[in-house]
Amino acid sequence: MTEGWLWALFTVIAAAAQTARNAMQRELTATLGTAGATHVRFLFGFPFALIAVAAIAIVSGQKLPVPNAAFWPWVILGAASQILATGLMLAAMGERSFVVTIAYTKTEPIQVALFGLIFLGEHITPLLAAAILIATAGVMVMSFKPGASGTRDWKPAALGLASGAMFAFSAIGFRGAIRALDGQFFMVSSFTLAVGLALQAGALTLYLMWRERAILTAILQSWRPSMFAGFMGALASTFWFLAFALATAAAVRTLALVEVLFAQGVSLFVFGQKASARDVMGISLIVIGVVLLLWAT
């Protein structure tokens, strides 16, 4: 496989790993709360990110990148936005089903395309724009539930859409940080991930020590499932960052909508939530959008 198609492979692997991590975090929310379950992906993911950087350095013989002045604002934006995005996503999962929550957060590609154009100068071709709109329309079809009304129905929508916006800022921030570094794409992407996780784990640990120390104790007591969630989070993030090093944020996050398909599988086989005709229609639109995306790139 040529480097030109590697980003697509990396994205699909990342989406599958992220689905597993999201499912595990959803379960951890019941015992650790939103803040605790959010912290798990960063605290337990950081050691795996360090191992990845060390392995790449040993195997390739490359030196670690030297962060420059442009790197830090981007990586801080990415890290802070991802913390907020994850917390909002888990809060939304407490209000609605797993697959619907994931669908709400996946309104992200349109926002990524806009932010990428504004902040990174990454232009969108007409075919790529069509792919983004069709795939996002599929997500909206899956999200809309006829006959739903009331505050409780607006709350998960607001939380999910806000989460999608924060994930969009996170994607732009991390891609900007990767582009600011010099070096081979495996090293610069893995190094950026390790720095981002260090910032996130440190910030959330300090916050929990200040406000909710009992949660830190609960996290350590739940170390077995937390370790798995951290590993899957680090695995997903590693491949997201590799994809960001090779393709625009808009292309990566649009192809990432395959996560909705994976989430539908988890919803059906793990949580026992059946797919409706509307879900099938939405999935079909997502598939069409993904095919157009791959054709456009």
Residues 213-260 have pLDDT tens digits of 898 889 988 888 888 888 998 999 999 999 999 999 989 988 988 877
Q: How far apart are CA 173 and CA 222, in angstroms?
A: 31
Q: How far apart are CA 254 and CA 257, in angstroms?
A: 6
Q: Name the least confident of 13-17, 53-57, 239-243, 260-264.
A: 260-264
Which pLDDT belongs to residue 150?
45
Q: How many residues does the chain have?
A: 297
Which pLDDT belongs to residue 47?
94
Q: Classify 50 as helix, strand or coil.
A: helix
Alpha carbon distances (Å) from 147 to 72, 144, 276: 47, 9, 15
Contacts of 143 (CB under 8 A, 6+ apart): 100, 103, 104, 157, 160, 282
Stated pTM of the model: 0.84
